[in-house]
């Protein structure tokens, strides 16, 4: 296990975690952004499996949140406001009339403090951040830690921890776009995805939850037995059309914590297993991505990556019966998501 650190301009640091199996994970202290995950294909050829910019300067704007830590609240908050304990909190309208991914003062725009660690079986970097009350419109001073750990069995573990001195809204995630073809050789049309979910959240035309939870059964949202993402891209189902001919929806996981998602690419033989103790996730299939981004391997395009944003549901701020995102003062937020990379013949 190794850690290599490179100092960039603007007080940015790039940490490269590597193991002896050919897997590498590169992380910036800016935004806690994962810029590269290199894993071997079935023939042992190491290639990158996430979207990252060719020029690091592009992470300053980063309109599609490539690889970033998202907070305080991942997802859209309808009307850019919410009420908590009798008080109303107005947030930045960063997505039309709504608040998205913490707004322009979100965690993806911060330089985090860092601490490296390593042993014979793992290498990692702990990122920490203190967010003062009122900076982003949310209540409470917040201390956050996000830890990226690469293990010798090709797992990337992400541990989230946060404490607040005042009850607040919080749900954190990582916004990496995965593409298992390797070095962006193709789109994710043929990625086969399996999700442990029998319910998903209905969206309106502004991608805001309506308050209804729909059955996945009999729809292009039923991934319980596994299906190709192209099933949704080519579907006439209204919920796929609303999202731009794809997916940008919250899936509520069935059962307890554990293995919740698998994604595989038949051509490369790569398979990714997602384990989490989060109650659900947003799967986003880069439906609104165009050719304007210069990525490390090529220009961007629609359907070039898929995000598995494990998190609670911001819809719980407006509707009952959704996985909650309220962190009480004195409580500690602790969540974990693990991405493990395998190959299949």
Domain ranges in the chain are 2-343
Please give the backbone phi and psi of residue 56, each rounded to the nearest 5 degrees, phi first: -60, -25
pLDDT for 10 equals 83
Question: In the chain, what is the straight-line distance between the N-terminal and C-terminal CA atoms, in Å?
Answer: 27
pTM for this predicted structure: 0.97
* Token digits of residue 221: 């949202």
The kind and range of the H/E element at 242 are helix 238-242
Instruction: Please give the Cα distance from 341 to 50 (Å, whole number).
Output: 13
Alpha carbon distance 307, 324 (integer Å): 21
Q: Are 201 and 181 in contact (CB under 8 A)?
A: no
How far is it, in rounded angstroms, from Cα 212 to Cα 320? 10
Which one from 309, 319, 328, 331 is the annotated catalytic residue? 309
170, two tokens: 């919080």
309 is an active site residue: yes
Q: Residue 336 in 3-state DSSP?
A: strand
What pLDDT, on the 0 to 100 scale, is given for residue 28?
Answer: 98
Question: What string of pLDDT tens digits covers the 345 residues of the chain?
Answer: 999 999 998 899 999 999 999 999 999 999 999 999 999 999 999 999 999 999 999 999 999 999 999 999 999 999 999 999 999 999 999 999 999 999 999 999 999 999 999 999 999 999 999 999 989 999 999 999 999 999 999 999 999 999 999 999 999 999 999 999 999 999 999 999 999 999 999 999 999 999 999 999 999 999 999 999 999 999 999 999 999 999 999 999 998 889 999 999 999 999 999 999 999 999 999 999 999 999 999 999 999 999 999 999 999 999 999 999 999 999 999 999 999 999 998
Q: To 10 degrees, the CA torsion angle through 270, 275, 280, 282?
A: -30
- How far out from the chain centre does Cα 79 lie? 23
Domain 2-343 has CATH 3.40.50.10090: no
Tokens of 146: 């996000």
Residues in the chain: 345
Residue 58: φ, ψ to 5°: -70, -15
List Cα–Cα distances, 255 to 196, 197, 212, 222, 284, in angstroms.
8, 9, 20, 16, 22
Q: How far apart are CA 19 and CA 182, in angstroms?
A: 18
Structure tokens at 70: 């998202």
Closest listed residue to residue 194, CA positions, set 255, 245, 240, 260:
260
Residue 48 has which token pair?
């990158």
How buried is residue 302: exposed, middle or buried, by Cβ count under 10 Å (0-12/13-18/19+)?
middle
| Interstrand relation of 258-264 and 270-276 (parallel, antiparallel or unpaired) | antiparallel
Catalytic residue among 101, 108, 175, 191: 175
**pLDDT value for 255:** 86
pLDDT given at position 21: 96
> What pLDDT is stored for residue 257 in this prediction?
85
Residue 191 annotated in active site:
no
């Amino acid at each position: 296990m190794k850690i290599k650190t490179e100092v960039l301009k603007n007080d940015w640091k790039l940490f490269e975690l590597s193991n002896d199996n050919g897997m590498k994970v590169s992380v910036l202290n800016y935004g806690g952004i994962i810029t590269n995950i290199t894993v071997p294909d079935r023939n042992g050829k190491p290639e990158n499996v996430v979207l990252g910019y060719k020029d690091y300067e592009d992470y300053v704007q980063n309109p599609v949140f490539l690889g970033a830590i998202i907070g305080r609240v991942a997802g859209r908050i309808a009307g850019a406001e919410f009420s908590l304990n009798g008080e109303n909190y107005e947030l930045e309208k960063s997505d039309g009339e709504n608040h998205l991914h913490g707004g322009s003062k979100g965690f993806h725009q911060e330089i985090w403090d860092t601490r490296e660690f390593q042993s014979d079986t793992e290498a990692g970097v702990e990122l920490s951040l203190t967010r003062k009350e009122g900076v982003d419109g949310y209540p409470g001073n917040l201390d956050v830690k996000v830890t990226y750990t690469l293990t010798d069995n090709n797992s990337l573990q992400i541990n989230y921890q946060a404490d607040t001195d005042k009850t607040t809204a919080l749900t954190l995630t990582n916004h990496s776009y995965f593409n298992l073809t390797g070095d962006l050789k193709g789109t994710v049309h043929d990625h086969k995805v399996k999700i442990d979910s029998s319910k998903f959240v209905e969206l309106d035309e502004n991608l805001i939850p309506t308050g209804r939870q729909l059955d996945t059964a009999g729809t292009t949202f039923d991934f319980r037995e596994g299906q190709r993402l192209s099933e949704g891209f080519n579907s006439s189902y209204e919920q796929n059309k609303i999202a731009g001919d794809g997916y940008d929806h919250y899936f509520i996981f069935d059962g307890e914590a554990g293995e919740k998602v698998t994604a595989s690419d038949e051509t490369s033989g790569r398979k990714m297993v997602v384990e989490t103790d989060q109650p659900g996730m947003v799967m986003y299939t880069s439906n609104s991505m165009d050719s304007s981004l210069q990525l490390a391997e090529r220009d961007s395009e629609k359907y070039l990556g898929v995000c598995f944003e494990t998190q609670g549901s911001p819809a719980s701020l407006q509707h009952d019966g959704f996985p909650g995102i309220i962190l009480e003062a004195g409580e500690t937020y602790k969540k974990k998501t693990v991405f493990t990379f395998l190959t299949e013949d």
